[in-house]
Amino acid sequence: MTRKPRKPVHHVEMTEGKCAIIRGLLEEYDIESAQDIQDALKDLLGGTIKEMMEAEMDEHIGYEKSERPEVHDPDRNYRNGYKSKRVNSSYGSMEIDVPQDRNSSFEPKVVKKRQKDISDIDRKIISMYAKGMTTKQISETIEDIYGFEASEGFISDVTDKILPQIEDWQNRPLSSLYPIVFIDAFHFSVREDGVVSKLAAYIVLGINADGRKEVLTIEVGEKESSKYWLSVLNSLKNRGVQDILILCSDGLSGIKEAIQAAFPKTEHQRCIVHMVRNTLKYVANKDMKAFAKDLKTIYTAPNEKTALVQLEKVTGKWNAQYPYAMKRWSDNWDAISPIFKFSKDVRTAFYTTNSIESLNSTLRRLNRQRSVFPGSQARLKALYLATFEATRKWTMPIRNWGKVRGELAIMYPDRLPDYQHFPDTYAEICSDPLGIS
């Protein structure tokens, strides 16, 4: 077995200056543990901040602290002592002395007026919220790690800062063409006015002309209907989408009619995985393995003609025991059959909504951590932040995109351009959407 080469070990270069600082630290402080080091650094941080503000004050009033103006000028600004201020840092809560001036015109830069935190805690809070932690869990974590209190109200205020960015993301311009679009649902509970209700969030994901996955929108709430889905698809059109080659979804009520109205040239592909799952709901456990094996002969058939023969065989074999199991296959054949135009390798790109499984797994984890959202705004922030967290990893085209694109170009001539660049706004958002990397 070939041994993996060891990663090189990068040693921190200990210059004479660094060694002198360490020696001075050991001489000044009674250091016996790692905690003692933290306490010493905390003390040094406060002193360093004070010295930096002293230098800022020197520049502001025009003379150093040890100097005195030769001529007394009643209009001249002077130092006016210090004001104690408590700030939160990565080393914990600490008091600092802020220099004051007689005219109250001094605006320190190192720690600004009304700034109570120098630990970059906002980014940390948003990152924890994006990973599914509740405001209570975040508050407890900050107190455990940093030793200062961050109330749930404060954390909620910090995460509220992302709401305008969420609105910008939801309304950003989209590409004119998405060769493949998926729609899948994610269910969650929200408490409004003391009442807990179950809602669905519909994730609309596109594969752009570069083969990259892109969440186009997240729609929450309304009961499925052709009217509802038409409003969703029209919203995509209003943001720039002119064409979709294939739209893959589960059996969403009214979606077929909405596609015909909004994008009449788009083919609707039923998610085969959902079809199989829904079919097996009607089957006893003892027959499930054999039934699933028979279903596979349908959706893996080399062409539609053979698939129809297999459909008839499977229906005939199991219809007596499970009369309702196969009915949806014949009823929805027009939305099942588009896959048979393509090679088996290409079918895997769109015959199932599993392309958004990584996002779904992130949202399921969010659901496990938050059994009930405390309101619609909390739900909105958590859903979008979880989405941003998942999509940061989407840096490459989907598997076999070159082959998929080639067959799509043949099957849908003159609709797939040679090259289409997705909007820079999305690329920027996905690289680090809210500064939480």
Q: Cα separation of 372 and 416, whole Å? A: 43
Query: Mean per-residue pLDDT for 155-163?
Result: 77
Q: Tens digits of per-residue pLDDT, 310-359?
A: 999 999 999 999 988 898 899 889 999 999 999 988 888 887 766 676 67
Please state the pTM of the whole predicted model. Answer: 0.69
Would you state the structure tokens that stand for residue 174, as one six-digit string? 């989209």
Of the chain, the percentage scoring pLDDT greater than 70 comes to 81
CB atoms closer than 10 angstroms to residue 256? 19
Contacts of 253 (CB under 8 A, 6+ apart): 224, 225, 226
- What is the model's pLDDT at position 433? 43
> Which stretch of DSSP H or E encloses residue 97?
strand 92-101
Would you state the structure tokens that stand for residue 201, as one six-digit string? 């969030």
Q: Cα separation of 106 and 53, whole Å? A: 10
- pLDDT, mean over the chain: 80
Highest mean pLDDT among 25-34, 43-52, 105-114, 166-175: 166-175
CA-nearest of 186, 197, 209, 241 to 356 is 186
Would you state the structure tokens that stand for residue 338, as one six-digit string? 């588009």
- What is the model's pLDDT at position 118? 62
Contacts of 103 (CB under 8 A, 6+ apart): 77
Are 220 and 200 in contact by the 8 Å Cβ rule? The answer is yes
**pLDDT over threshold 90, residue 250:** no
pLDDT confidence tier of residue 147, bands split at 50, 70 and 90: low
Q: Tens digits of per-residue pLDDT, 69-83?
A: 666 666 778 888 888
Q: Cα separation of 316 and 236, whole Å? A: 43
- End-to-end CA separation in angstroms for the chain: 37
